[in-house]
Homo-oligomer: A and B are copies of this chain.
Amino acid sequence: MVKARSYKLLCPIARALDRVGDRWTLLILRDLHAGPARFTDLQRGLTGIAANLLTERLAKLVADGLVVQAPGPHAATVYELTELGRKTRSLIFELAMFGGGLPHEGEPVAPGNLRTVAVTLGAAAERVEAWGFDLVSGLVVDGENMEISAKEGVASVFYRKAEQPDVVLTTSYESLMQLSDGALSEREFIQQESQVEIVTPGKDKELYRLFARILEAFR
């Protein structure tokens, strides 16, 4: 067992940091916001976290009631957020907003999976007023599938393959980052860096408009 290093300060911010302030903890939560995940999924997505640290962090998150273990597919157990854990969503979104404008320190290493993209886009999408949109679209980034959809005024992003999409946009993580940095304009992004497969005619334009609205959250 680990002896928690707590601030013990009578302050809500310190209390929050006592739960999520440890190294790696917020990145684990970030991944879990994309949906339930196995131990190994998390380990890959965090690119190099030591197994013992992941074990410790998960144990503390479970003990604090932010995460629970549940039976998953193929007799595996998955970790997923509790209702309390889901309350960290806007916190994580604010982190992404702040970090989006910063240069990286040292040589960046790509993460082992793209759950972070789904979470960041998803949190932004939730804040978009999406009346007038009605579509299901696939977004394939470096071969990994996610879904961007809009219905009844609400846009959402999931880390899963879209079923019967109206349009599928294929691109790379690199291009997406350049787009959100502003290094690539939206027009350049669509024209040069992506491939589009249109199932329902016209829905490609709708996706671009929705995508643009979501990205506005990062300015």
> What residues make up the interface of A, taking CB atoms closer than 8 Å to B?
4-21, 23, 26-27, 30, 46-47, 87-88, 90-92, 94-111, 116, 120, 173, 177, 180
Residues of B within 8 A of A95 (CB): 12-13, 16-17, 91
A108 to chain B, nearest CB (A): 4
What's the least CB distance linking A118 to chain B, in Å?
12
CA gap between A180 and B140 in the complex, in Å:
45
Once A9-B109, A104-B15, A105-B6 are accepted as A-B contacts, the answer to whether A91 and B87 lie under 8 Å apart by CB is: no
Copy count, this protein chain: 2
Please name 17 pairs of A and B residues whose Cβ atoms are closer than 8 Å in the assembled complex, sorted by A: A6-B105, A8-B107, A8-B109, A9-B47, A10-B104, A11-B99, A12-B99, A12-B120, A12-B180, A13-B116, A14-B27, A16-B95, A17-B95, A21-B26, A87-B98, A90-B94, A91-B94
Q: Are A96 and B12 in contact (CB under 8 A)?
A: yes
A18 CA / B109 CA spacing, docked (Å): 14
Please measure, in the bound complex, the distance between the C-alpha atom of A100 and the C-alpha atom of B46, giving whole angstroms.
29
Given contacts A13-B99, A21-B23, contact A6 B109 (CB under 8 A): no
Chain B residues in 8 Å Cβ range of A21: 23, 26
8 nearest A-B pairs in the assembled complex, by CB-CB distance: A16-B99, A12-B99, A15-B99, A10-B108, A91-B94, A12-B100, A16-B95, A12-B96
Q: Assess whether A98 is in contact with B104, with CB atoms less than 8 Å apart.
A: no
B104, A19: Cβ atoms under 8 Å?
A: no
Instruction: State the Cβ distance, A128 to closest chain B Cβ, in Å.
Output: 18
Q: Which residues of B contact A90 (CB under 8 A)?
A: 94, 97
CA distance A14 to B24 in the complex (A): 9
A10-B111, A13-B95, A15-B103 known; 16 new pairs, CB 8 Å cut-off, are A7-B27, A8-B104, A9-B109, A10-B177, A12-B96, A12-B180, A13-B26, A13-B99, A13-B120, A16-B99, A17-B26, A17-B27, A18-B105, A19-B99, A87-B101, A90-B94
